[in-house]
Structure formats: C-alpha cells, structure tokens
C-alpha cells in the first residue's frame, strides 16, 4: 500500500500520471461559489451564535452534580427572573454551565442559591462570574484588526517574494473563501463563537497561506521562461506544479487533521463546550477547506489572471495553432486533447522523457572525423 502511494506520487512528479486540475477550473469555481453562497445564506438567515464573551452577561458553573439534566437550571433561573432565557450547556460529566443576561448582584446571589438547591450541592460549588459587553466589543475589534493586518502583510510579502501581484490576489481570494466557508459551518452547527474560535479562524489563514505558497513556489519554478518555449502553455506548466505538490499537500493535511480531529472528539463528547471544542472545530474545517483551496482554487485563479496578459494570451494562442496544424485540425476550434492539458504537454516530449525532466533536443554537431 505504501509503495503504491509512493509510486503514485513519483508518477505525479515526473508527469507519467497527471490530473487536469487547472484545465477544469470552471468546475472548481462553481463548487467554491456554491460553498461561499451557501455560507453567506447561513450567516444571513441563521447567523452566528456569539458567546458570552461577545454579548456580555452572567455565568454560573455548577460542579459535583449527580445529574446533568437542564430543566432544574431553567426552573432555578426563571424563579428569580421569570423573563430570562438561560443558555445551559454540559461541561464534562458532572458539571453544568448556565449563562444569562446581565443580572444585578442580588439576583446573582438568588440564582446561585436556587441552583445549589436544585442540584443538591453546596453554594460553594456554584461559581458565578460577570462579563461586560464592552469586553466583548474590544475582543471583536482586536480580532478584526488582526485579520486586516494579516491580510495586508500577506499581500505585501507575496507580491515581493513572487514579484507578481496576481499570485497575491489569488491567494487572498482563496483565503477569503476559506474564512467564509469556515464561518458558515459555524453558523450551520450553531456552536457559540468565542475568543478561542477567533483564534482558530486566524490560525487557519496561516495554514492555508502556507500550503498555497508551497504550490505557488513550484508554479514559479515551472513557468520560469515560459514565453521563450513552444512546448507548453502557462496553464499546462502550472497544472504540472499542482500535480507535483499534490502528494505533499495531502500528506501535510492528513498529518495536521488527525490530532485536530482527536481534540475535536474529546472536546465535543468528553469535556463539553469549552476552549478545546471551539478552537478545534475552526481548525478542522479550516484546514480541510484550506487544502481544497490551495489545490483546486489558488493556482487556477492565478492562471486565469495570468492568461489575461496580452503576451501570455498570444503565447497560448500560438501553441494552440502549432498543435492544431500538427494534428491537421482547425486552429480556431477548441480541442481538449490539444489545448490546456498536461497530457498535451507530454505528447510533445521525446521518447523516454517525462514532464518533470523534459528538455529541448540537442542538435548534433556537424563535422568531418
């Protein structure tokens, strides 16, 4: 099994095997658009569920209880504040968390006493805390500021490193896709958005941009001097780069997702709502969708932007015409077998050469012995 996977990766790197990822970019654009639109609709209709850190309020934690039934907590809160809708969640196997709106000090004391009586525990086992809405607003403001600074730095660094603003734009579009879809999943699940969730959102952006930069670096290497040759188009060389980094992207994602999924399971089914669950869901969804965007979205977007350049468009047209003439076809008609595929690139190699090692044939020197 391992040898077969290694052989598959070697075939992808040399070009013996290839997937036309860039050539089918319209399909990936449609999938990404559907994910973004669906996430946007979820945010507009269902919305996010902000945690107490963002909305403010009073919180009670009951420990050492023999039952995690939530109705006694509801009755205890309504006995003090009849119009109060409490949010109750299980924490581990013997604790409950009860969150309410802002309560006065006398009301907090009465709710603590009522909760202690309802669950048959000492008053000392019922901890209370208060979080003001201004603190949540400050957290939101800093999270947004961090996101803006991150995106600005990514744009500048990628533009300088790759010397191409198109790669920076493609990377930012892929990052926006990852963030919107991850937030949409949070809206779908309905879990509370906490500061840990915001940290998870910022973390997945770093992971996604790392994977995208690795692919773009290979694209830059393969497409160096693309206008000075007539063997392949820019799209074909970029597609080869995606195939050559495909195994690396898959391996990195699997290795990263395994521990995150374990943390997510522990946080969901054992510890209950808390920092581990909040951050692990954001990381799991973000890493999974980030792998998709770095493979199927970032490079195709960059190719689409690059092909709008007059010189690149003329180069692609010239190669299409050369291949069409060689095949005896009309160069004005699109031909999937001749244009826009890595297979077409491989068809023009010398016997025994592969996509990753191809070079122009050397001319024999003429002369007398």
Whole-model pTM?
Answer: 0.75
Mean pLDDT lowest among 104-118, 133-147, 187-201, 240-254: 133-147
Mean pLDDT lowest among 130-134, 221-225, 258-262: 130-134
Note the pLDDT of residue 142: 80
Instruction: Give the CATH H-level superfamily of domain 2-50+135-306.
Output: Multidrug efflux transporter AcrB transmembrane domain (1.20.1640.10)
Note the pLDDT of residue 301: 94
How many Å apart are CA 181 and CA 204, to the nearest integer? 12
Mean pLDDT lowest among 87-96, 117-126, 226-235, 347-356: 347-356
**What is the phi/psi pair of residue 131, to 5°?**
-125, 120
Mean pLDDT, rounded, for 100-114: 84
Judge: domain 57-131, CATH 3.40.50.150.
Answer: no
Helices assigned H by DSSP within the chain: 2-14, 25-45, 52-55, 71-80, 105-119, 133-162, 165-189, 195-222, 234-244, 246-266, 275-296, 298-306, 310-327, 342-346
Mean pLDDT, rounded, for 146-163: 83
- Which residue ranges make up each domain of the chain? 2-50+135-306, 57-131
pLDDT of 309 over the 80 cut = yes
Mean pLDDT lowest among 36-45, 174-183, 241-250: 241-250
Banded pLDDT at 316 (limits 50, 70, 90): confident
- The per-residue pLDDT of the chain, averaged, comes to 79
Contacts with 216 (C-beta within 8 Å, 6 or more apart), sequence order = 158, 162, 167, 171, 298, 299, 302
Opening angle at CA 309, ends 339 and 218, nearest 5: 70
Quick: pLDDT tens for 21-57.
Answer: 998 999 999 999 999 999 999 999 988 888 777 777 8
Banded pLDDT at 118 (limits 50, 70, 90): confident
């Amino acid at each position: 099994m391992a040898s077969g996977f290694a052989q598959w990766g070697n075939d992808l790197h040399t070009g013996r095997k290839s997937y036309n990822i860039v050539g089918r970019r319209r399909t990936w654009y449609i999938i990404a658009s559907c994910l973004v639109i669906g996430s946007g609709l979820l945010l507009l209709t269902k919305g996010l569920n902000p945690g107490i850190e963002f909305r403010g309020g009073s919180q009670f934690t009951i420990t050492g209880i023999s039952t995690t039934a939530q109705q006694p907590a509801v009755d205890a809160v309504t006995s003090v504040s009849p119009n109060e809708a409490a949010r109750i969640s299980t924490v581990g196997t013997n604790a409950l968390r009860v969150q309410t709106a802002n309560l006065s000090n006398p009301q907090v004391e009465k709710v603590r006493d009522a909760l202690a009586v309802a669950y048959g525990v000492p008053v000392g086992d019922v901890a209370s805390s208060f979080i003001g809405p201004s603190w949540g607003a400050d957290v939101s403001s800093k999270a947004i500021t961090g996101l803006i600074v991150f995106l600005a730095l990514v744009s500048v660094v990628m533009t300088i490193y790759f010397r191409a603003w198109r790669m920076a734009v493609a990377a930012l579009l892929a990052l926006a896709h990852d963030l919107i879809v991850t937030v949409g999943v949070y809206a779908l699940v309905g879990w509370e958005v906490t500061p840990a969730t915001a940290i998870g959102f910022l973390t997945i952006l770093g992971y996604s941009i790392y994977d995208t930069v690795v692919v773009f670096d290979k694209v830059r290497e393969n497409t160096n001097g693309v206008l000075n040759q007539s063997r392949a188009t820019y799209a074909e060389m970029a597609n080869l780069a995606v195939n050559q980094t495909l195994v690396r992207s898959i391996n990195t994602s699997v290795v990263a997702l395994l521990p995150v999924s374990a943390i997510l399971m522990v946080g969901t089914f054992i510890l209950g709502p808390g920092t581990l669950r909040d951050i692990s869901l954001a990381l799991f969804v973000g890493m999974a969708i980030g792998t998709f965007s770095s493979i199927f979205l970032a490079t195709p977007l960059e190719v689409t932007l690059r092909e709008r350049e007059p010189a690149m468009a003329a180069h692609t047209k010239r190669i299409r015409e050369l291949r069409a003439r060689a095949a005896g076809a009309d160069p004005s008609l699109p031909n999937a077998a001749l244009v826009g595929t890595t297979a077409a690139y491989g068809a023009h190699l010398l016997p025994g050469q592969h996509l990753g090692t191809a070079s122009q044939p050397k001319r024999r020197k003429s002369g007398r012995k």
